[in-house]
Amino acid sequence: MGYHQHIMISSIMDAATRTRALHSAHSRWPFLRNPRRHDLYTDRLLLAPPELTDYLFDNDDDDEAASEQSFLLSTDLPNWSQEFPDIIFAHLEADCFGGVCDYSGFTCQAGNILERVEPSTNAHIKLLQLVGVPSDGIFIPFKRVFFEGRCSGLKS
């Protein structure tokens, strides 16, 4: 069984900025999902488009739409980051099969890509460090059902 997920996470921000960023992100990308638990990562923005694991979709059109949404987030995030020039945003991607995950992504700030990290089994650790999230390799948001809504590791 595979797992394929994109996630956006930011550096620390104050509550007012987080509220503005959350509203702006949901306005721009209405398909983004919030964490199911609202008591984690409350000092930063953490959102995800629908999971891209194939078996979760009823048809190819739904699968393609979710892929396009993840692509849109990854290509539009640097431009959107201009709205919050003091915040660093990371786009992380996990592509897993058979218990082995490859991670990749980038960080951006104020409209600029700061660093791209090529696929590897520990690329997420570097990306998380760049936004101030310590990790020993485990990042809870990459667990199934972490995010609300459709395709959160549950078919319904």
Side by side, the strands of the sheet bearing 112-120 are: 46-47, 2-10, 89-97, 100-109, 112-120
The domains of the chain are located at 2-142
In the chain, % of residues over pLDDT 70: 92
- Is the pLDDT at 156 greater than 80, yes or no? no
The string of pLDDT tens digits covering residues 18-74 is: 999 999 999 999 999 999 988 989 999 999 988 777 667 677 887 788 778 888 899
Is the Cβ–Cβ distance between 141 and 147 less than 8 Å?
yes
Residue 74 is predicted with a pLDDT of 92
Give this prediction's pTM: 0.90
Which CATH architecture best describes the domain 2-142?
2-Layer Sandwich (3.30)
For residue 96, pLDDT over 60 is answered with yes
